[in-house]
Amino acid sequence: MNLAELLTHVQGLTAIAIGIIIGLGALGACLGIAIMGSKFLESAARQPELVPLLQGRMFLLAGLIDAAFIIGLAVALLFAFSNPLTAVIQAAAGH
């Protein structure tokens, strides 16, 4: 397998990995926020006097859930625009 074929293969697999990272991260974040929101509404209906306390904690958790997705997005963008795997292949081919 020559260098061009190897680089093309790595870039193709990287594109699939990027799609999986972003897709599963978005799915997980959506499910997490949906479950958290439903539990917040249940608890607000049961004890309305605790809504201010629970609302602050809900927004904190929403930020943490979104932060995990954004970290995954940043890793996917790293692989999309400056793929370290192609640099390793090019360095190995140069020796």
Per annotation, catalytic residue among 66, 71, 78, 90? 66
The token duo for 65 is 């859930």
Alpha-carbon gap, residue 57 to 14, rounded angstroms:
37
Alpha-carbon gap, residue 33 to 70, rounded angstroms:
14
Q: Is 66 a catalytic residue?
A: yes
Burial class (CB in 10 A: 0-12, 13-18, 19+), 82: exposed
Residues taking part in catalysis: 66
